[in-house]
Structure 1
Amino acid sequence: MAVTGDVYNTGLLKRIFKYVKPYRAVFVWSVILTILLAAISPVRPFLIKYTLDHYILNGNYDGLVNMTMLMVFMLVLQSLIQYNHTLLTNTLGQSVIRDLRISVFNHITRLRLKFFDKTPIGQLITRTVSDLETIADIFSEGLISMIGDSLQVVVIVGVMFYTDWELSLVVLLPIPLLIMATRKFQKAIKVAFQEIRNEVSNLNTFLQEHITGVSIVQYFAREKQEYRKFYAINKRYRDANIRSNWYYSIFFPVVELISAMSLGLLVWYGAKSILSKPLDVTPGTITQFIMYLGMVFTPIRQLADKFNTLQMGMVGAERVFKVLDTDETTPNNGKQKPGKLEGNIKFEKVWFAYNDDNYVLKDLSFEVKAGETVALVGATGAGKSSTINILNRFYEVKKGDITVDGIHIEDFELDYLRNHIATVLQDVFLFSDTILNNITLNNPEITIEDVVNAAKKVGAHDFIERLPGGYQYNVMERGATLSAGQAQLISFIRALVHNPAILVLDEATSSVDTETELLIQKAIDNLMEGRTSIVIAHRLSTIQKADQIIVLDKGEIKEKGTHQQLLKLNGYYKKLYDLQFSSKGIAKV
């Protein structure tokens, strides 16, 4: 879908209005109040004209009092209608973007990892936050407001012609100039607004990446260089805003000038008529037309701004729907949800590539019996983590089959499959929340007793209890207030409490010190007992007890066997083993 910002994109408007359906009553009342505001807008100037011509000039005090009370009543009524109109349109807009934001977030969390490999996170934040806010403006300041302003102009011009068509023709002579200026302004400001939206996206992307990676910036003393990059992006954002303000600074004075021309024509024609005998135009009519001119020119001036608000809402909607239309979710057509998963895993001639035919796994075949432990070893880029990713269906295989308990993984209900595979990653991610919620992930089925028991098994209970608040301690974003070892232990508890049939340890002990590794190694051994486990480790000392060790190199299996069997082969595994132990003077096992 191209981002055109076409305000007449009826297909896009229909998609937006699908989210209005639950709020039909609010929308209908908003339209009704819009029509009412347009209908009563000419009443007050007419009452002032009537009062001036019939009561003030004739010295009728009682009539003046009655008309004043009527005008106060009309003013209060108009204010009440305006209040409810503003409240309803804003409520409608916020309700729509709330539902849309939920849809976008739900869709984003279901997208494949491949999508995030090529999409900046800051861009997605812009789509989910600021682009969605522009859609709310379609209802609060855009479409409905434009309809109301247009109706008001039509009604008032109609009343003006009905009151005095000759005077109306004279005072509305400059209107074509106003329409031309408005069109020029609308085209110029549209481009400026699109530049602003693009620079906002760039700014959010840069900030998200560099605040997240601020430690790298500081480690390598890149503050000045990154400052210059940010300065350039921020300057482009500033310049885009200045351009839009410059267009406004020209347009509004032009509108005021044209409005003054109409007012001048009104004064000239009115004075000429009053001086003539008999009177062609009454003082009340002139006063009425002065008020009407303001009520015509103000909406027309605002229409240009609101038209662009509507356009920006359409641009934002196109970007948001482009995310929703991204067809990179993992297919979830499987229905298999066996009562119990044993954990028999089988890879048969599996080929996998992240991009086209650049295969990172080639003809991969191996089997893990239920309750066994298999270890994947190899140099960086050998394909170890890719094997885990396709087992979880974060990516889809190109060729071959993967089965669990004899069932193709595509045939499992996706949530069921992933709920039975618990993964502990090398790069631990903790949310800015309590330790308890980081472990349970807000799953109500997991009790505090389950969490405490799991923490005791991995030897983490004591250190958690020493923290302020214990399990209610807030770890802050990415676990910044914990050591790497403590964060790793918490992620380990997170895996345990879900009681998985398959346990995956992806470099799970590489971030912890030797003392912490020894602390959890015994717990790991106990937890692997009776559970299918896949272990990825650079430290070969952690996998020597594995039932099977698979040596990968450039996506291919080079060797398979137990620790002792592989040592005897004197091949790839032996070389890795010697590099880690012999070169360090550590006794071989």
Structure 2
Amino acid sequence: MTTGRRLIQYALSYKKIIIAALLMLTISVAADLAGPFIAKTIIDQHILGIESNWYETTKGKMAVNYHEKYYKREKYFSAGEQKGNHVRILQIGSKFVFIEQKIDFDGKRSFKNGLLTIKKGNEKAEYKAETIKGRELLAFYQPEIPGIFQLILIYFGLLVVSAFFQYGEKFFLQKSANRIIQKIREDVYGHIQRLPIQYFDNLPAGKVVARITNDTEAIRELYVTVLATFFTSAIYITGIYIALFILNVKLAAICLLLLPILYAWMLVYRKYASKYNRVIRSRNSDINAMVNESIQGMNIIQAFNRENHTQADFEKLNHEHFKFQNKLLSLNSLTSHNLVGILRNLVFVAFIWYFGGQSLTPSAVISLGMLYAFVDYVNRLFQPVQGIVNQLANLEQALVAGERVFKLMDEPGENVSTERIPRFKGNIKFDHVSFGYKEGEFVLKNISFEANHGEAVALVGHTGSGKSSIMNLLFRFYDCQKGKITIDGKDIESIPRQTIRNHMGIVLQDPYLFTGTIASNVSLDDPGISREKVEKALKDVGAEMVFKNLEKGYDEPVIEKGSTLSSGQRQLISFARALVFNPAILILDEATSSIDTETEALIQEAMDVLKKGRTTFIIAHRLSTIRNADQILVLDRGEIVEQGSHDDLMALKGKYYQMYQLQQGGEELAG
């Protein structure tokens, strides 16, 4: 499905609001476009209407007293009312003359020495006439004033109606746009929660953030500004063309040539703008990723004096972003306003050409009122055209941003399962398991072992030997390519990931804390975990002594990543977080590596109690912390090379013995 269709689908989720907005827009446009028609009526029927047919009558309503006789326009006579002598009032230049007879035809007029001459081709007619003075002329206009005021009031009322419905249209369109973007952001963020861990291994966090924030904001412009402008312009253009065809079919047909020209321009513009916008959005994402990475590693950058090198890398990305922004700016500058100006000039050239062969006299096909209305509508026509052209850049940005967002949403994920199963006993079996992060490159090879309920299993080995990979498989952050893993005899791949993790706890080497408080970082705001459980967990891991001197105790604020806390304090919070959920399987991944000796002693005391009733996996480089483990697995290059208790492995005098001897410096053996 194309990006455009998917964006339309989101819009259809709020079609009632959008339809209401479009109805309001239609009413607003209709009320606004009635203005030139009203102006045409005022000009033709009232201001220039003085030149229509007049008849002598008696004194009464709408009658005008002129030289002690009364005259009334033909349109104001009621049915059956007696009409007297036919008279005419004609304008010659700035003068108006009165003729006491009917004229045979109209044409080019001249007035001299009380004689009116009218010429039309080879025809010529002369009539006796007299000039009408100012006050007398005003008397002939007097009957028109109530009608003019009435039309002006109608026009003002229509402007009020147009303004009211225009406000409603903009309010509902903005409201629907904000809701659509809210839904897109929620869908994107929700989808991220369903993506497997390996997806984030290959995509920098900054790029993901850019798609959720910058790209969705660009899409918001599509709904708030672009589509609103397109809807408004489309209805305005439709209304204007209807009005033009009502006024004059031939001129309206000439103006129709604008539409294919505008469509062809949109195709050409999108061809180049789309290419530029893709590069711009991509570089923007790269900049976000680099900024995020630089902030995270600022201590390393400054410690190793890499500021200039990092600055140069950033400037390279920024320059490329700037270069394509300039290309897009040049494209917009050369075409948007220039295009509309050219089109406007072409239409007015056609307009002048059409009227060039005609005389703009009252007898011509086009009246002065119609001429005014047509010029007004043509000027109004270019306002929505200008709006459409000016929004093409935002349209392309939104479509490219939408394409990037939907590409993220198309990544295969799995729904978060709410299924719950009884707590595991914790009998775990790895049966000939092989696994690699890349296809064909195994980091675990034919791993087989069992961990029974209540046992503490330690994993040791050099960096890269596969210790953390075993835990990643157990947590189902990844799935093995060969063999199988069972818990209580059930293949873990047959159980939803979230269901398995509901009975597991983990403490990482580098614990991650969220913005909040110490207590909220322990409970993760789970409503099923009471304050008492949080405090008990912290007490069990020995945190009570560490945090008792804080001003707000366990309610002490924690900022991003817990940067104001020591590594030992962060680890204690992470430890309590794992324990408060009472997992059946507990994983400690280098959990004590960041803790000082005194704090480690506190944790070790608590662990002897807490390990009872659950299966515990311990990944450790400090071998002194795993001496009491029920089973120690020694890994080397993805294979288990030794397996047994501490005493068994020491007696074996193999790889574990060598590692332990190196760490202890031979002191224990010498003793």
TM-score by length of 1: 0.91
Supply the distance in 1 between the matched residues of 2:47 and 2:668 (Cα, whole angstroms).
109
Supply the distance in 2 between the matched residues of 1:53 and 1:195 (Cα, whole angstroms).
57
For residue 399 of structure 2, the aligned residue among 294, 299, 314 is 314
Displacement after TM superposition at 1:271 (Å): 8.1
Structure-2 residue corresponding to 1:379 = 462
Displacement after TM superposition at 1:317 (Å): 2.7
**What does residue range 19-98 of structure 1 map to in structure 2 within 5 Å?**
19-57=10-48, 59=141, 60-98=144-182
Displacement after TM superposition at 1:469 (Å): 2.4
| Contact 1:160 1:168 survives alignment (8 Å) | yes
| Contact 1:454 1:496 survives alignment (8 Å) | yes
Displacement after TM superposition at 1:292 (Å): 1.2
Supply the distance in 1 between the matched residues of 2:413 and 2:286 (Cα, whole angstroms).
23
| Contact 2:461 2:467 survives alignment (8 Å) | yes
Displacement after TM superposition at 1:487 (Å): 0.5
Displacement after TM superposition at 1:116 (Å): 0.7
SS of the aligned residue for 1:431 comes to coil
For residue 363 of structure 1, the aligned residue among 439, 446, 462 is 446
| Contact 1:548 1:560 survives alignment (8 Å) | yes
Query: Does residue 440 in structure 1 map to residue 523 in structure 2?
Result: yes
Supply the distance in 1 between the matched residues of 2:245 and 2:211 (Cα, whole angstroms).
47
Displacement after TM superposition at 1:302 (Å): 2.3
Displacement after TM superposition at 1:37 (Å): 4.2
Distance 1:587 1:514, change over 3 A: farther
Amino acid at match of 1:19: Y
Pick 1 or 2: higher relative contact order, CA cutoff 8 A, min separation 6: 1
SS of the aligned residue for 2:318 comes to helix
Supply the distance in 2 between the matched residues of 1:550 and 1:344 (Cα, whole angstroms).
16
Structure-2 residue corresponding to 1:404 = 487
Distance 1:247 1:550, change over 3 A: same
Amino acid at match of 1:558: V
Supply the distance in 2 between the matched residues of 1:299 and 1:106 (Cα, whole angstroms).
38
Larger mean CA deviation between 203-212 and 490-499 belongs to 203-212
**What does residue range 521-536 of structure 1 map to in structure 2 within 5 Å?**
521-536=604-619
SS of the aligned residue for 1:481 comes to coil
Superposed CA RMSD in Å reads 2.7
Distance 1:302 1:579, change over 3 A: same
Query: Does residue 294 in structure 1 map to residue 399 in structure 2?
Result: no
Amino acid at match of 1:390: L
Amino acid at match of 1:153: I
Structure-2 residue corresponding to 1:283 = 368
Supply the distance in 2 between the matched residues of 1:487 and 1:580 (Cα, whole angstroms).
26
Query: Does residue 258 in structure 1 map to residue 339 in structure 2?
Result: no
Distance 1:353 1:575, change over 3 A: same
Structure-2 residue corresponding to 1:6 = none
SS of the aligned residue for 1:558 comes to strand
Larger mean CA deviation between 30-39 and 424-433 belongs to 30-39
Structure-2 residue corresponding to 1:504 = 587
> Could you list the per-position Cα deviations for residues 334-354 of structure 1 after superposition, in whole angstroms to 9, with x for gaps in the alignment?
96x542321111111111111
> Could you list the per-position Cα deviations for residues 441-465 of structure 1 after superposition, in whole angstroms to 9, with x for gaps in the alignment?
1101111111111111112124334
Amino acid at match of 1:33: M
Displacement after TM superposition at 1:355 (Å): 0.8
Q: Which has the higher helix share?
A: 1
Query: Does residue 205 in structure 1 map to residue 270 in structure 2?
Result: no
Supply the distance in 1 between the matched residues of 2:426 and 2:488 (Cα, whole angstroms).
6
Query: Does residue 101 in structure 1 map to residue 185 in structure 2?
Result: yes
Query: Does residue 570 in structure 1 map to residue 653 in structure 2?
Result: yes
Displacement after TM superposition at 1:275 (Å): 4.7
Supply the distance in 1 between the matched residues of 2:660 and 2:588 (Cα, whole angstroms).
20
Structure-1 residue corresponding to 2:408 = 323
Displacement after TM superposition at 1:291 (Å): 2.1
Runs of 5+ unmatched residues, structure 1: 1-8
Structure-2 residue corresponding to 1:424 = 507
| Contact 1:37 1:148 survives alignment (8 Å) | no
SS of the aligned residue for 1:394 comes to coil
Supply the distance in 2 between the matched residues of 1:331 and 1:408 (Cα, whole angstroms).
19
For residue 304 of structure 1, the aligned residue among 389, 395, 404 is 389
Displacement after TM superposition at 1:226 (Å): 0.8
Distance 1:416 1:226, change over 3 A: same
Distance 1:588 1:528, change over 3 A: farther
Runs of 5+ unmatched residues, structure 2: 51-140
Supply the distance in 2 between the matched residues of 1:520 and 1:363 (Cα, whole angstroms).
34
Supply the distance in 1 between the matched residues of 2:296 and 2:436 (Cα, whole angstroms).
29
For residue 118 of structure 1, the aligned residue among 202, 207, 211 is 202
| Contact 2:650 2:657 survives alignment (8 Å) | yes
Structure-2 residue corresponding to 1:394 = 477
SS of the aligned residue for 1:397 comes to coil
Larger radius of gyration: 2
Structure-1 residue corresponding to 2:223 = 139
Distance 1:43 1:438, change over 3 A: same
Supply the distance in 2 between the matched residues of 1:179 and 1:403 (Cα, whole angstroms).
62
Amino acid at match of 2:298: V
Displacement after TM superposition at 1:372 (Å): 0.8
> Could you list the per-position Cα deviations for residues 33-82 of structure 1 after superposition, in whole angstroms to 9, with x for gaps in the alignment?
34434444431122222223333455433222222211111111111222
Displacement after TM superposition at 1:166 (Å): 4.3
Supply the distance in 1 between the matched residues of 2:408 and 2:648 (Cα, whole angstroms).
51
Query: Does residue 352 in structure 1 map to residue 435 in structure 2?
Result: yes
For residue 234 of structure 1, the aligned residue among 294, 298, 318 is 318
Supply the distance in 2 between the matched residues of 1:496 and 1:447 (Cα, whole angstroms).
13
| Contact 2:42 2:148 survives alignment (8 Å) | yes
| Contact 2:247 2:374 survives alignment (8 Å) | no
Larger mean CA deviation between 135-144 and 65-74 belongs to 135-144
For residue 161 of structure 1, the aligned residue among 236, 245, 254 is 245
| Contact 1:343 1:369 survives alignment (8 Å) | yes
Supply the distance in 2 between the matched residues of 1:173 and 1:429 (Cα, whole angstroms).
63
| Contact 1:174 1:261 survives alignment (8 Å) | no
| Contact 1:376 1:534 survives alignment (8 Å) | yes
Q: Which has the higher strand share?
A: 2
Distance 1:482 1:168, change over 3 A: same
Supply the distance in 2 between the matched residues of 1:513 and 1:579 (Cα, whole angstroms).
21
Structure-2 residue corresponding to 1:474 = 557
Amino acid at match of 1:189: A
Percent of aligned positions that are identical: 36
Distance 1:475 1:586, change over 3 A: farther
Structure-1 residue corresponding to 2:60 = none
> Could you list the per-position Cα deviations for residues 176-228 of structure 1 after superposition, in whole angstroms to 9, with x for gaps in the alignment?
76665555444333333333222221221211221222222112111111111
| Contact 1:171 1:263 survives alignment (8 Å) | no
> Could you list the per-position Cα deviations for residues 547-578 of structure 1 after superposition, in whole angstroms to 9, with x for gaps in the alignment?
11110001100001111110111111011111
| Contact 1:178 1:258 survives alignment (8 Å) | no
SS of the aligned residue for 1:350 comes to strand
Supply the distance in 2 between the matched residues of 1:167 and 1:14 (Cα, whole angstroms).
36
Structure-1 residue corresponding to 2:599 = 516
Distance 1:310 1:30, change over 3 A: farther
Supply the distance in 2 between the matched residues of 1:569 and 1:426 (Cα, whole angstroms).
29
Distance 1:396 1:94, change over 3 A: same
> Could you list the per-position Cα deviations for residues 138-190 of structure 1 after superposition, in whole angstroms to 9, with x for gaps in the alignment?
43334464244223223312321331234446677777766655554443333
Distance 1:176 1:508, change over 3 A: closer
Supply the distance in 2 between the matched residues of 1:384 and 1:372 (Cα, whole angstroms).
18
Distance 1:410 1:170, change over 3 A: closer
Query: Does residue 489 in structure 1 map to residue 489 in structure 2?
Result: no
| Contact 2:465 2:636 survives alignment (8 Å) | yes
Displacement after TM superposition at 1:115 (Å): 0.7
> Could you list the per-position Cα deviations for residues 505-546 of structure 1 after superposition, in whole angstroms to 9, with x for gaps in the alignment?
000011122222223221122211232110000000000000
SS of the aligned residue for 1:535 comes to strand
Distance 1:43 1:587, change over 3 A: farther
